[in-house]
Structure 1
Amino acid sequence: MAAIGASLCPAASFPAHRREEPSHTVLKLKPNRIPIMPPCFALSVDRVLETTTTAISANNGVASVKVNGEEGISAEKEKRGENKKEEEELNRRSGWRSYVEQLKEISKQDGGPPRWFSPLESGSRLDKSPLLLFLPGIDGVGLGLTLHHQKLGSIFDVWCLHIPVADRTPFTELVKIVEKTVRSEHQRLPNRPIYLVGESLGGSLALAVAARIPDINIVLILANPATSFDRSQLQLLTPLLQAMRGPLSLFPPEILSSLSGDPLRLLDKLVSGFPLQNTDREILEDFTTFSGSLPVLANILPIETLQWKLKLLKSGSAYVNSRLHAIKAQTLILCSGNDQLLPSQQEGERLRQLLPKCELRKFQGSGHFLFLEGSFDLVTVIKRASFYRRGKYHDYVSDFLPPTINEAKEVIESNSLINTVTSPVMLSTLEDGTIVKGLAGIPSEGPVLFVGYHMMLGLELVPLISRIFMERNILVRGLAHPLMFTRKETTIVPDLSAYDGHRVMGAVPVGPTGFFKLLSSKSHILLFPGGMREALHKKGEEYKLFWPEQSEFIRMAARFGAKIVPFGTVGEDDIGNLIFDYDDIVKIPFLKSALEDLAKDAPKLRTDVVGEVGNQPVHMPGFFPKVPGRFYYYFGKTFETEGRKLELKDREKAHELYLEVKSEVERCLDYLKEKRESDPYRSIISRSLYQVTHGFTSEVPTFEI
């Protein structure tokens, strides 16, 4: 087995599912309109809730791309995908407005205690969906995920905690309420994880619950958790609120609701008599943004309630920080770079160091209320971090959520530079042996195993996977090095976030188990037998295969009747020269020492293989760029294993086919190296001139076949 992405290049509708034995009342809210919560629907906090299923269309849900080559995208879905960006822009403008409109209904006094409600009604949901409990921030109403309900509802059973405006439940009692619900649901469905998603105050609440029940299978997703309250500027609000008590009381909500304009401009008028420092004004700007308008702020957070919420923040922070050592839950922290209320990025780094299973994602341009920003998609973030699971451990095959059209396009566009610079040429082979331009020769029905040569630093990956996806609507799932999935303490290996794009596009840790599951799911799989040894080859070893002697992937492919498609890729020598390889690095003492330290942390592969094809030390070679040439891909003839299962059980027969596949890869490489010499557009200069005269979106020609 071998790995892709060798080293340091960060470069359908589901069956309805209804939870068993519903036995209690839950407030069911319409997806597009949240009515007032009358007391008759209020839930007592000592009762377990019935959950509802979610009405989600397939296009709003998980999969809208063909993973195994079985179906194309319909014209309707294509159109929806194209219009998604426009919809996101509308969300960016209307997200806060939608939140505020719902606040007007749900924030009215009802006199009830904290309780759960489901924001979605029955419909389709992924089978065995885990429970997601949303714990709100300082607003307390439980609508913080309003922009994400529909997508979350396709993969989770979503409940939200509502804390009425006038409620004064202490932090420790809120912890007990959530803990009791978690314990009850865990007892009912012990094999499924329970997600606690919290923002700000809700983040502290989630951590506190996790500290009290470390033996329960919990996943934490926290946006700007308020555990840094003692180091935040929020404490400055206390004296400011005292000063604002008088002026605000002069303007009841009925008068404020008749006013229009920017909230800050209105706030300037209200507090014009008070000398505000720049820091205070920044706090107010981020704080008032979440409400969208002062009338709603007056309803949802009157002065007395806000003062109480600040006390909750303070007590919650102290409670959690004294118990961080007890938290064992898998944790994903989302921190904003422009949070004016809390030092969220610094706190995220601190928590990552203190929590044993913690990952961090940063959003540099975002403010404190991350979930209410139209450009933020929580489901996409969960996919990219591989944080969705339905059992005790994440399964990269059965728990995989295929990317939507827009998610895939986002990944492809983020790597558009390499596609633009290398202007890839794709050739494939039809069943009759005819070589054609394009990818018509690639089999549509899986399982399909692409086997090829791994260029320096895995530079061929992005054009290969993106072009197959765009032209054939096939998602190729690569067997990748474990360093893309396992975080180590060393600072030399890139952070896991650098590989989010690989994971959202379906990369799987290399190994027999993952390979077996991909074949059984009839996937299109990408395998490089040369692995990291090829991707980190030495000077003078360009286009040389370093395949192990074992031919086990042949036997495994035959077990499922997979089609094996050998391919070659050339062009690494057209974009740069390798000038500093592993042999050079180990001759320099301090670099050798650094490599030895890195080797202790980096995941090991092929430890049982003798010789240079065995475990390849992770390192970064020196690569001097050239005026970019072009990448060329050639998919050779397909080897069928259907009906040969018994024959290929014989190791000698399997090895014969193994050598045939290897020979075909070498033939593809030789063909490309020869034919590229006659490509008049091999240089980026000639390609640029062609596009200037023919249009920048025109496809640049290549050599004659």
Structure 2
Amino acid sequence: MAISTVRITDGICPVFSPVSRRAHNRDFSYWKSTRRLTSVAIGRLRDGGKVTATVNPYSNTDAVRPEERKSLTDFLAEVRDFDGGDGGPPRWFSPLECGARAPGSPLLLYIPGIDGTGLGLTRQHKRLGEIFDIWCLHFPVSDRTPAREIVKLIERIVRSEYYRYPKTPIYIVGDSIGACLALDVAASNPDIDIVLILANPVTRFNNLMLQPLLSLLELLPDEVPCLIEENFGFKQGYPFAAMFESMLNETVAQMSGGLLGDFFKTSANLPTLIKIFPKDTLLWKLQLLKSASASAKSRMYTVKAQTLILLRSINFGHDQWLLNKEDIEKLRCALPKCEVRKFENNGQFLFLEDGVDLATIIKIAYYYRRGKKLDYISDYIRPTPFELKEFEKSQRLLTDAISPVFLSTLDNGTIVRSLAGIPSEGPVLYVGNHMLLGIELRPAAIHFLKERNISLRGLAHPVMFTKKSGSKLPDLQMFDSVRIIGAVPVSNMNFYKLLRSKAHVVLYPGGVREALHRKGEEYKLFWPEHSEFVRIASKCGAKIIPFGAVGEDDLCQIVLDYNDQMKIPFLKDVIEEITQDTIKLRNGEEGEVGNQDLHMPGIIPKIPGRFYVCFGKPIETKGREKELNDKEKAHEVYLQVKSEVERSMTYLKMKRESDPYRNILPRLLYYLSHGFSSQIPTFDLRDN
């Protein structure tokens, strides 16, 4: 069983100091509370010890439960202690839940939205605290600091961190108003490596919609919230309280849409919300939003920071005064390094909602890095057991339909139904054939993690990692399922670095041409005449394991392939445009990604058959570096690998004929009799 290594760090509690005074390394602040000490600033060590675990954390993902996260009720309970009674200027705090981060973790600054409490990430603290050093900005209810002064306050801590760690990126997570302030900070500091995470950024303010809301708030007397709370208590059975809640919900929902509507839907917590949104504070926050959004809109063209925009669905109607598709598109085009991820079933307060895990989003978007440039090898974070469970759930329909069979070959040549023939220690290079659409990697990656705790790092087309502005390439969210399991853009450098890190690497020499083949080309290899993978593998002492995969012809049938589409004018134009966009991503790379046109073949499903994958006997290259440095000798091994892949495919196509469970009906009957978690038998392996 493979051994996984994790790091933990110890924490130390520093001397507290008010935000107006500067500590040597960072601004610290203290927090007063009439009930309990909710959050304090905690200094932590950058290095830590190692803890070695020998238990496979993925062996029983079915029993894994979601990591315990705070609820919206917990958030509102904590807000009651952040009512701003102590007054004072904005200040930073570090949540107690973020106490055991990994060494070398970058700084993450959270700039809150209209609530101003700084607790907007409260449901995310535990997960984010494992990979970031988190600091949250809090605005007391009575604070009236102008937008420009807030930007300067954020800049001070950004500059301080940059001075200490100039090679480490600084993350700024901004929510609505905070997103505008974060854009301003990035625009003012183009020399600092800043990564922006912007949730529902507001870069336009519709004054025609704003003015009625401001007028309504101006008409309400200052004493209304206190009188309602004291005299009616917001208890069930008081008609005036119910009437006020109904009026407030309706008014806010119609005029302010998602910005405040989501907050005030929880009417049972209205007293808490009124405490953080008294009339004068709400008026100030709306004016602050107007000022910050105007500044962000005017300066967004100067922002050079890498940016990830998290956007809820924008529907025509009451929320158009804040989020506008045209403005978001302008923002995306204005930022040179920007990716937009949309959440169709979520509201304005993304970080407080179920199904939104910011740590996972940052990981699968490949936005997590510890240095100036993303290192796909060292910056990769393996999925948690629950993330694997969620990934497995997303693939459940496919997995249940194909019931994959994984075979491996022992040292004595015996083929077994398990991964017992797979070496535990890397580097290992798996070389095989792509089936249609390349869907064989995902079930294989799940199986390797669950049985052997081995991460398969697939070398994938660069279109899965980068999208140029205005191109017709697919949305990057389509490839989340590939990126969460550690796929890496194919390149000689990434290939070499993976092997040097002793990883288990999957290579498909046929590339896209093999995955998007034409009619009648099932199981045909489209490998280049020559390849350097043998020589690179020998330099790293990697074992090469050829493998064959069959089963695509049992799943679907191609009815409209590349040749057919090129005869249709509008499809031909689209393919040619996509091909040109793809060329811009290749950066001179050839071989696996060179001269390969991207298109989506038209397919129709069949009655699902079964997938089979057979891993052959490892080919040792360790100690053969000088021998395999010779091109002819390396080519001989290359042809040997290709021959073994073809032999495995032939073996599987022959043996599957005797599999009594190749058809889906016998498999369904077996599931009903033995349970859906049982392993379905396959053909007899004794006669190989």
Give the alignment's TM-score, normalised by structure 2: 0.88
In the alignment, what sits opposite 1:228?
Answer: 204
CA distance in 2, matches of 1:178, 1:532: 46
1:194 matched to 2:170? The reply is yes
Query: CA separation in 2, counterparts of 1:616 and 1:566?
Result: 23
Report which stretch shifted further, 632-641 or 108-117.
Answer: 108-117
Deviation per residue, 1:678-698 (Å, 9 max, x gap): 222222233223333444443
User: CA offset at residue 335 of structure 1?
Assistant: 1.4
1:598 partner SS = helix
Alignment of 1:524-543 (within 5 A): 524-543=504-523
Tell me the CA shift for residue 613 of structure 1.
Answer: 9.1
**Quick one: which of 65, 74, 77 aligns to 1:84?**
65
Moved more, 194-203 or 145-154: 145-154
1:140-289 to 2 correspondence within 5 Å? 140-230=116-206, 236-245=212-221, 248-251=224-227, 259-260=234-235, 266=241, 268-270=243-245, 276=251, 279-280=254-255, 285-289=261-265
The alpha-carbon distance between structure 1 residues 239 and 677, as it changes in their structure 2 partners (threshold 3 A), is: same
Give the secondary structure class of the aligned counterpart of 2:221. helix
Query: Which residue of the other structure, out of 381, 397, 403, is the alignment partner of 1:417?
Result: 397
- Residue pairs, 1:263-412, within 5 angstroms: 266=241, 268-270=243-245, 276=251, 279-280=254-255, 285-289=261-265, 293-337=269-313, 343-344=322-323, 346=325, 347-412=327-392
Q: Secondary structure at the match of 1:646?
A: helix
1:271 Cα offset (Å): 6.1
* Partner SS, residue 449 of structure 2: helix
**Aligned letter for 1:622?**
G
Give yes or no for contact 1:247–1:270 (8 Å, CA) kept in 2. Answer: no
- Judge conservation of contact 1:575–1:625 (CA < 8 Å) in 2: yes
Contact 2:46 2:103 in 1 (8 A): no
Match of 2:101 in 1: 125
Match of 2:17 in 1: none
Deviations 1:5-51 (A, max 9, x none): xxxxxxx4325388999556623679xx96278xxx9xxxxxxx994
Quick one: distance in 2 between partners of 1:120 and 1:637?
51
Name the stretch that deviates more: 463-472 or 443-452.
Answer: 463-472
Aligned position for 1:44:
none
Q: Is the Cα–Cα contact under 8 Å of residues 198 and 205 in structure 1 kept in the other structure?
A: yes
Cα pair 2:62 2:389 within 8 Å, conserved:
no
* CA distance, structure 1, for counterparts of residue 249 and residue 679 of structure 2: 63
Letter in 1 for 2:73: R
Q: Cα offset for 1:454? A: 0.7
Q: Which ranges in structure 2 are unaligned for 5 or more consecutive residues?
A: 15-22
Aligned to 1:107: 83
Select which of 2, 6, 14 maps to 1:13.
6
Partner amino acid for 2:113? G
CA–CA distance in structure 2, aligned partners of residues 178 and 159 of structure 1:
11
1:291: how far off? 9.1
Cα 1:34–1:119, aligned 2, differ >3 Å: closer, same or farther? farther
Q: Alpha carbons of 1:328 and 1:385: their partners in 2 closer, same or farther (altered >3 Å)?
A: same
Does the aligned pair in 2 maintain the 1:52–1:121 contact within 8 Å?
no
Closer, same or farther: CA 78–618 of 1 in aligned 2, 3 Å: closer
Q: Deviations over 1:297-353 (max 9, x none)?
A: 232221111111111011111111111211111111111238976654735444223
Determine what percentage of the aligned residue pairs are the same residue: 50
1:615 aligns with 2:595: yes
* Residues 406 and 609 of structure 1, relative CA distance in 2, 3 Å threshold: closer
Name the residue aligned to 2:19: none
1:426 matches 2:406: yes
Is the Cα–Cα contact under 8 Å of residues 134 and 198 in structure 1 kept in the other structure?
A: yes
How far apart are the structure 1 equivalents of 2:252 and 2:31? 42
User: d(CA) in 1 for partners of 2:82 and 2:248?
Assistant: 33
- Tell me if the contact between 2:471 and 2:578 (Cα under 8 Å) persists in the aligned partners: no
Aligned counterparts of 2:247 and 2:463: Cα–Cα separation in 1: 55
Counterparts of 2:340 and 2:593, CA distance in 1: 34
Deviation at 1:479, TM superposition (A): 0.4
Matched, 1:139 2:84: no
- Please point out which of 477, 498, 506 is paired with 1:497: 477
Secondary structure at 1:293's aligned position in 2?
helix
Q: Distance in 2 between matches of 1:152 and 1:265?
A: 43
C-alpha separation in 1, matches of 2:537 and 2:603 = 36
Shift of 1:661: 1.2
Q: 1:249 to 1:122 in 2, by over 3 A?
A: closer
Matched residues in 1 for 2:104 and 2:47: separation? 16
Paired AA for residue 279 in structure 2 = I
Match of 1:571 in 2: 551
Q: 1:590 to 1:377 in 2, by over 3 A?
A: closer
In structure 2, the residue matched to 1:585 is 565
Structure 1 unmatched ranges of 5 or more: 1-11, 42-48, 60-65
TM-score by length of 1: 0.86
- TM-fit CA distance, 1:523: 1.1
Please give the secondary structure, in 1, of the residue aligned with 2:571: helix
> Residue 97 of structure 1 corresponds to which residue in structure 2?
73
Q: By how many angstroms is 1:411 displaced?
A: 1.6
Whose RCO is larger (CA < 8 A, sep 6+)?
1
Residue 73 (str. 1) matches residue 53 (str. 2): no
Q: Which segment is superposed worse, 273-282 or 96-105?
A: 273-282
Say if 2:98 and 2:134, in contact at 8 Å, map to a contact too: no
Cα distance between partner residues in 2 of 1:406 and 1:506: 16
Aligned AA (2:618): T
Aligned to 1:523: 503
Q: 8 Å contact 1:138–1:200 — kept in the other structure?
A: yes
* Secondary structure of residue in 2 paired with 1:27: coil
Q: CA RMSD in A?
A: 3.5
Post-superposition Cα deviations, 1:134-167, rounded to whole Å, max 9, x if no partner, equal: 1111121211111222222221121111211111
- DSSP 3-state at the match of 1:227: coil
Q: Following the alignment from structure 1 to structure 2, what is the Cα–Cα distance between the partners of residues 547 and 462?
A: 22
Shift of 1:478: 0.4
- Whether contact under 8 Å (2:546, 2:618) holds in the other structure is yes
Q: Distance in 1 between matches of 2:600 and 2:9?
A: 48
* Structure 1 residues 421-468: Cα deviation after superposition (integer angstroms, max 9, x where no partner): 111111111121111112222222111111100111112122222222
The code of the aligned residue for 2:90 comes to P
Q: 1:162-193 deviations in whole A, cap 9, x for unaligned?
A: 21111111111111211232223223321111
Q: Which moved more, 1:502-511 or 1:104-113?
A: 104-113
Report the 3-state secondary structure (helix = DSSP H, G, I; strand = E; otherwise coil) of the residue aligned with 1:360: strand
Provide the C-alpha distance between the structure 2 equivalents of 1:320 and 1:281, rounded to a whole number of angstroms: 20
Q: What residue in structure 1 maps to residue 468 of structure 2?
A: 488
| 1: CA distance, partners of 2:398 / 2:248 | 56
Does residue 685 (structure 1) correspond to residue 687 (structure 2)? The answer is: no
Q: Match for 1:460: what amino acid?
A: E
Distance 1:349 1:263 in 2: 47
Alignment-mate amino acid for residue 185 of structure 1: E
Equivalences, count: 664
Match of 1:137, SS state, is coil
Counterpart of 2:533 (choices 550, 553, 567) is 553
Q: Does the alignment pair 1:440 with 2:433?
A: no
> Match for residue 701 of structure 1?
681
